[in-house]
Each structure stands twice: as structure tokens, then as C-alpha cells.
Amino acid sequence: MSRLPVKLLVAILHLALPRMGLIARGAYYHSRFYMRILYFMRAVSKRWQDIIDGTPSFWTTLPAHVNDASILRSSPLPLCIVYHHTSKPGKFPSAKMFLGIIAPTRPRWSTLALYLDGPATLSGYFEAPTPILQTIIVRRASQSHVYQPKRRALGVPWRT
């Protein structure tokens, strides 16, 4: 593997990573599993770590346990933001703290999957434009069923 060209190794590593699923609660678990596998692959060798860290496409999913290094590594690519409220305090940041970490990346959000404890925490995510946002999944974390509402226009509080 040490003689493989970087582009080929990147392609192989991408194939080895799990695909992100955005249905129901799956986005949260898929994003955690994705990041866990990514960090395992980084630990294989210094070369793999350097390649993974230097390839922005590996860092386009930002789950609740995201850090500044992950955001920097994602470069200018579109981002998939995943947040799941947990009843275990201190394990992950609150929805408000998470928003504070990822707010500067708003122009790069292409997917937003939020599983929140209530509607009050939702408003902060839509206070500024998100020009490339294509998919929004919002669900109350405590619900055991997923309901599909009828399609309708979503009002946003900003001017374009």
C-alpha cells in the first residue's frame, strides 16, 4: 500500500468508509460510525493519517462531537451537519453549543439532520442564510415514530 498513488489510496479509503444514511435516527448513528472508522483508518500509519487529514472529502460530515480540526480539514466543501440531542449531559455539546461551533460554516451546509429535544432549539439554525442547503431533516429526539408531513413551503426568517 505504501507504493500506491495518493489518488488511488484515497479512492480505496472512500470505498471502505460506510455510506451516510439520512433517514430517521440513522443519520446520527451513521455519522458516529463513519467518524469512528475514519479515525481507525488514520491510526493505520503516518502516511494514511497525512492523506486522510489532507483530503477534505473525508471531513464533510460534521456530527455533534465535531471539533475545529474537522472543520478546518473539510476545506471549502459542502457539509452534512448531524446533531442528535442526547439525554446524557456532558457527553456531547448542547444544540446551542453545537450551533456555536458550526455557525461559521453555514454557507457550506448542504444537508442538515437535526434530532432535537424541542422546537426552541431549532430557531438558531435558521437565523442566517444557508445558500446551498438542499436537505433538511428535523425530528424531535424523544419521538419513537417518524411522521412524514405533506409538502409545503417553509418560511425562513432572512431576506435574500
How do the pLDDT tens digits run along the chain, 160 residues long?
Answer: 568 899 999 999 999 998 766 654 566 677 888 889 999 999 999 999 999 999 999 999 888 777 788 889 998 999 988 887 765 666 677 778 888 888 899 999 998 888 877 666 677 777 888 899 988 888 776 654 444 444 444 555 555 4
pLDDT at 144: 47
pLDDT at 73: 93
Burial group, residue 20, by CB count within 10 angstroms (0-12, 13-18, 19+): middle
In a domain, 32, yes or no: yes
pTM attached to this predicted model:
0.77
In a domain, 149, yes or no: no
Q: How many separate domains does the chain show?
A: 1
pLDDT at 10: 95
In a domain, 62, yes or no: yes
In a domain, 98, yes or no: yes
Note whether 76 and 61 are within 8 A (CB).
Answer: no
For residues 34 and 18, what is the distance between their CA atoms, to the nearest angstrom?
Answer: 6
DSSP characters over the chain: -TTS-HHHHHHHHHHHSPPP--STTHHHHHHHHHHHHHHHHHTS-HHHHHHHHT-GGGG-EE-TT--HHHHHHTTTS-EEEEEE--SSBTTB--HHHHHHHHGGGGGGEEEEEEEESSGGGTGGGGSS--TT--EEEEEETT-SS---PPP-----SS--
pLDDT at 16: 92
In a domain, 31, yes or no: yes
In a domain, 148, yes or no: no
In a domain, 43, yes or no: yes
pLDDT at 141: 65
For residues 94 and 88, what is the distance between their CA atoms, to the nearest angstrom?
Answer: 10
pLDDT at 146: 46
In a domain, 150, yes or no: no
What range defines the domain where residue 125 resides? Answer: 6-140
